Amino acid sequence: MKLGTFMMPLHPPGRQPWETYVEDREAILLADQLGYKEALVGEHVTDLAENVTSCMMFLASLAHETKQIVLGTGTVNMPNSHPAAIAAQVAMLDHLLKGRFIFGISPGGLMSDAEVFGNFRKDRNAIFLESINMVLDIWKGEAPYNLKGQFFEVTTGQTQIPDIGQGAIIKPYQKPHPPIVVTAVAPHSKGVTEAAKRGWTPISANFLLPEWVASHWPKYKEGRPDGKGEDWRVAKSIFVADDEKTAKEYGHGPKGPYWFYFKQLIRKLVGAGGRGNLFKLDQNEPDARITADTMTPKLVIAGTVNSVVEQILAFREKVGPFGTLYYPCHDWVDAKLARRSMQLMAEQVMPKVNAALKE
């Protein structure tokens, strides 16, 4: 099993962006030093808690400071930009990283972003599909472009000057394009099946009950019967500490970042987003029971090294044969504990997990 990391990122909205950007960059630089294989970063425009407004800008700031780690968009919210802009910016970032790049895409899940960009209550899945199809057509085709859809147009026929390069969009470093990954949130997601048919691979979200994560693998196999576990990435909130008391207090308690994370997320997904189904197996259970107090211990693996190893192995046994585990970076309430957890995860937990998987 490979180890990667993912960050939304999500911080208390009172913290200043200049401060949290430094922290988030430090987390990825540390991951690179510790041997994490991949790091994906999310983006939102209208959220003071999730204040990376462009994951591609953020990743570009790390392009020449990271050495080995593969960086990725987690995700580009396709309906919120023009496909020509996305195609050009992704290609540029792929060149900056010389192919050390993964292209994560989604329709976007933050409703205030949808509203500000004018696609709230529209069919964002349809916009998403048209957008990614146009991006791929731009990379596959040659200028002048003449792409017309229901939502977007990409043309340069009237203004192209071929001999000086005007009117053409650069193609990615990787051929024919960077690997494409999609986030999987919905239980028994049909989107996972459709993505698999196109050669895209899924990332199961870190805030899902194990039973819903387990539902993604069969749907992926429906779309790609020859798919292998190594294609599947699963995110899981984890905190590793040197002692059990610290692990439980920081990993599950109200003073730690994980409890804050789920309090914030539940307010967005359940209170404002109508997605209470993600947090309960019995759909008749009242949404009022979905709280940070009830969900954090269920959804965060916390403990000492050996305890976390056992919990990860039990989790994988339950959900299926995923090949990459994404360790989400949460707010560094205590920077020393946060760094130590990342270190223990890379240097002690994963070697023991992989040794057990070989038995």
Summarised one tens digit per residue, pLDDT across range 196-253 is: 999 999 999 999 999 999 999 999 999 999 999 999 999 999 999 999 999 999 999 9
In sequence order, which residues have a C-beta less than 8 Å from that of residue 197 and are 6 or more positions away?
223, 224
Between helix 17-34 and helix 335-344 the angle, nearest 10°, is 20
Angstrom distance (rounded) from CA 315 to CA 318: 5
Q: Tell me what pLDDT residue 23 has.
A: 98
Average pLDDT over residues 34-46: 98
Percent of the chain topping pLDDT 70: 100
Angstrom distance (rounded) from CA 245 to CA 304: 9
* Residue 119 backbone dihedrals phi, psi, to 5 degrees: -120, 20
Q: Tell me what pLDDT residue 274 has.
A: 87
Q: Tell me what pLDDT residue 286 has.
A: 93
pLDDT over 90 (residue 271): no
Question: pLDDT confidence of 173, banded at 50, 70, 90?
Answer: very high
pLDDT over 90 (residue 273): no
Mean pLDDT of the chain: 97
Whether residue 323 contacts residue 2, with contact meaning beta carbons closer than 8 Å, is answered with yes
Angstrom distance (rounded) from CA 61 to CA 41: 12
Amino acid at residue number 69:
I
Q: Tell me what pLDDT residue 295 has.
A: 98
**Of residues 101, 131, 107, 129, the one with CA closest to residue 40:** 101
Residue-wise pLDDT tens digits, 317-339: 999 999 999 999 999 999 999 99
**Of residues 346, 258, 240, 235, the one with CA closest to residue 302:** 240
pLDDT over 90 (residue 115): yes
Average pLDDT over residues 271-284: 90
Q: Which residue has better confidence, 21 or 272? A: 21
How many CB atoms sit inside 10 A of residue 168's CB?
Answer: 15
Residue-wise pLDDT tens digits, 69-103: 999 999 999 999 999 999 999 999 999 999 999 99
Q: Tell me what pLDDT residue 327 has.
A: 98
Q: How far apart are the first and last CA of the chain?
A: 13
